[in-house]
Amino acid sequence: MQNRILPLEGVRNFRDFGGYVSRHGGTVKAGHLYRSGHHAEATEADITKLHQLNIALQADLRRPDERERMVGKWTGEAVITHEGGRESEAPHQRFLKQMEASPEIADQWMNEYYIHAPFKPHHTAMFKDWFQGLAIIDGAGLVNCAAGKDRTGILCALTHHVLGVNESDIFADYELTNIAANVDERLEGARDYFNNRLGKNYEADVYRPFMGVNRRYLETALSSIKDQCGSVETYLTDHLGVDEALQSQIVGRLVGD
């Protein structure tokens, strides 16, 4: 699993999420699907490497205010964005500022985020555009958000579902964020940075849900989809317009021997 991680200097959590066995026969092609955090701190060496990956389609799932604060130093050939969802500050920072949080409260806040994330209109619009583009692009695709873990994690899991990746591999790829983003190593530094910024004295584990992932979060997102739509397939067709024909196109392009 760790061989999927592409170590870049200024881009966190960059990795290949292809290469998994598909129930459609064969394997999801490696070197065709990537995921990451934002690219605002990409170095010249990173940009050179990114250009070599032939990324034709980029789904930048960040809100417009995030894109304005953290302007990407690199973009794919075709970039999917949306102007919806603007915030004056990051929702999790506002939450941490307005109340006294504990690791348990922070964990619950993040879990509740996953209930609603699959249905936010600006998310579903970008998810839809991603699948439409994935069926026809000549090159690789990249999904990113700010940290490459929550919005990105949901869309990558849905992409894996379409491509016939089994559940254990879907969750393993999702949880790889905790290694790819060096969460344990960065946690104390993040605590000091955010406590100073927020005027708080939180212990480091309060920030863990906002830096890493927990299997339960993705389980919550998928359960929310099934509760509201009946199945992931119905969500794909009714909310994203990803019907059987489009799924077959995507599988035909991305699953090989």
Q: What is the 3-state secondary structure (H, E, C) of 181-207?
A: CCHHHHHHHHHHHHHHHHCCCCCHHHC
Residues 19-46 have pLDDT tens digits of 999 999 999 999 999 999 999 999 999 9
CA angle (62 as vertex; 125, 232 as ends), nearest 5: 45
Q: What is the pLDDT of residue 257?
A: 82
Please give the CATH topology (third level) of the domain spanning 2-256: Protein-Tyrosine Phosphatase; Chain A (3.90.190)
Q: pLDDT value at position 1?
A: 66
Nearest-CA neighbor of 143 among 217, 38, 40, 72?
38
Query: Distance between terminal CA atoms of the chain?
Result: 20
Neighbour-count burial of 194, counting CB atoms closer than 10 A to its CB (0-12 exposed, 13-18 middle, 19+ buried): buried
Q: What is the pLDDT of residues 134-158, one digit of tens each?
A: 999 999 999 999 999 999 999 999 9
Residues 212 and 13: their CA atoms lie apart, in Å, by: 10
In this structure, are strands 33-36 and 55-60 parallel, antiparallel, or unpaired? unpaired
Phi, psi of 185 (to 5 degrees): -70, -30
Backbone angles phi, psi at 74, to 5 degrees: -145, 145
Q: Percent of the chain, pLDDT > 90?
A: 95
CB neighbours of residue 4 within 10 Å: 19
Considering only CA atoms, which of 235, 232, 236 is closest in space to residue 247? 236
Low-confidence ranges of the chain (pLDDT < 50): none
State the pLDDT at residue 99. Answer: 84
The residues near 243 (Cβ < 8 Å, ≥ 6 apart) are 237
Q: What are the extents of the domains in the chain?
A: 2-256
Return the structure tokens found at 200.
């708080």
